[in-house]
């Protein structure tokens, strides 16, 4: 077994799933996913883009998926709210992308270091129109590694966005 943060397990699981493209904007408590990817993506000939905001991160990840790579983005509650319109478009276009939402307490920047699992409604009903997507919530750090791989596979199988939702406790602990 490896001794990893849950966020690192998510990143390593994404790599194991064949992801070679990530677009993201730093946000607590999800930043470690991007940091791990930055340290390791070059070894794989992969690309990571740090965008100017969460909307651009989601749209850039969609562009990577549209171009044919397994791509994803990573955020937390406030970023997921900003991605609503982009996720609607991804669903409409049947783009098999993955969004990692490391949940924290909200709203906005209120309590970025308090554990909460309050993004479920936002993940299920945040987008506009006839949105269809899949939501996966791991129950352990080990599941962060294995279930993110399932997220990529389900996204491709059903041609829809998958929102993967560890919480702050899983993301920042080993």
Considering only residues 70 and 169, tell me which one the structure prediction assigns the higher pLDDT: 70
pTM: 0.93
Look at residue 1 in the predicted model and tell me its pLDDT: 80
The confidence score (pLDDT) of residue 109 equals: 64
pLDDT band, residue 127 (cuts 50/70/90): confident
pLDDT-based confidence at 9, cuts 50/70/90?
very high
Per-position b or e across 33-66, b if 16+ CB within 10 A of its CB: bbbbbeeebeeeebebbebeebbbbbbbbbbbbe
Q: Residue 2: its pLDDT value, please?
A: 83
CA–CA gap between residue 141 and residue 4 (Å, rounded): 8
What is the pLDDT at residue 112? 64
26: nearest Cα among 58, 53, 59, 56: 53
Task: Please give the DSSP secondary-structure letter assigned to residue 134.
Answer: E
CATH of 6-168, one of 3.40.50.720, 3.40.50.1580, 1.10.3720.10, 3.40.50.970: 3.40.50.970
Does residue 55 have a pLDDT over 70?
A: yes
pLDDT greater than 90 at residue 102: yes
pLDDT tops 90 at residue 34:
yes
In this prediction, residue 111 has a pLDDT band, given cuts at 50, 70 and 90, of low
Chain-centroid distance, C-alpha 52: 17
């Amino acid at each position: 077994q490896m001794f990893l943060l849950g966020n690192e397990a998510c990143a390593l699981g994404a790599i194991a799933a064949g992801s070679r493209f990530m677009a993201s904007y730093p946000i607590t408590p999800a930043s470690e996913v991007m940091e791990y990817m930055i340290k390791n993506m070059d070894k794989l000939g992969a690309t990571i883009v740090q965008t100017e905001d969460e909307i651009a991160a989601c749209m850039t990840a969609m562009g990577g998926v549209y171009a044919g790579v397994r791509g994803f983005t990573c955020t937390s509650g406030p970023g997921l709210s900003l991605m609503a319109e982009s996720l609607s478009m991804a669903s409409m276009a049947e783009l098999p992308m993955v969004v990692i939402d490391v949940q924290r307490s909200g709203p906005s920047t209120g309590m970025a270091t308090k554990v909460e699992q309050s993004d479920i409604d936002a993940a299920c009903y945040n987008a506009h129109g006839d949105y269809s997507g899949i939501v996966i919530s791991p129950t352990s750090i080990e599941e962060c590694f294995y279930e993110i791989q399932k997220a990529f596979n389900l996204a491709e199988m059903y041609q829809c966005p998958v929102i993967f939702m560890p919480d702050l406790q899983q993301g920042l602990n080993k």
